């Protein structure tokens, strides 16, 4: 079972894309934390194409409390982020209950949030930018994780 935690995303279009990805891949729940926008919202709906109606989601200001709640329910919590101890996505063996934290479009997952995670997962980059759009990265990671489960 996979849940995504979208923390402090600015872009409504990225949130709409996450809803479509969650619907398409069967992600169990989408958490919208911090200042991440949530439905009802016209820009989210335009990109989500109705997926915001079919994907379970919940909003919360405090991401730390969401992480603690999920850990209490038996979830392992990982960040999708580049760190010194990152595991390559292709080498990652997902637990049966996983929550994946997605960070801001510009600075990624905050160190205070990383400290609550059990680890971090990265997607190998071959280009010069060393980053992907957050919704694209989430889609790649979710597909790979769910394909292994």
Domain CATH number, residue 141? 3.40.1280.10
- Structural domain harbouring 74: 2-148
Residue 97: closest CA among 66, 76, 124: 76
On average, the pLDDT of the chain sits at 96
Q: If residue 111 lies in a helix (H) or strand (E), which one and from where to where?
A: helix 111-114
pTM to 2 decimal places:
0.97
Domains contained in the chain, number: 1
Q: What is the model's pLDDT at position 130?
A: 75
The pLDDT tens digits of the residues spanning 34-64 come to: 999 999 999 999 999 999 999 999 999 999 9
């Amino acid at each position: 079972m996979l849940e995504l935690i979208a923390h402090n995303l600015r872009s409504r279009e990225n949130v709409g894309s996450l809803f479509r990805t969650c619907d398409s891949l069967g992600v169990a729940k989408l958490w919208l934390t911090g200042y991440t926008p949530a439905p009802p919202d016209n820009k989210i709906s335009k990109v989500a194409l109705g997926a915001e109606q079919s994907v379970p989601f919940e909003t919360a200001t405090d991401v730390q409390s969401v992480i603690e709640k999920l850990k209490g329910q038996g979830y392992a919590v990982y960040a999708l982020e580049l760190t010194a101890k990152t595991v390559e996505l292709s080498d990652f063996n997902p637990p049966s209950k996983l929550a994946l934290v997605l960070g801001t479009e510009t600075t990624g997952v905050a160190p205070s949030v990383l400290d609550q995670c059990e680890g971090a997962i990265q997607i190998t980059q071959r280009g010069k930018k060393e980053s992907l759009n957050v919704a694209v990265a989430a889609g790649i990671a979710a597909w790979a994780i769910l394909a292994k489960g």
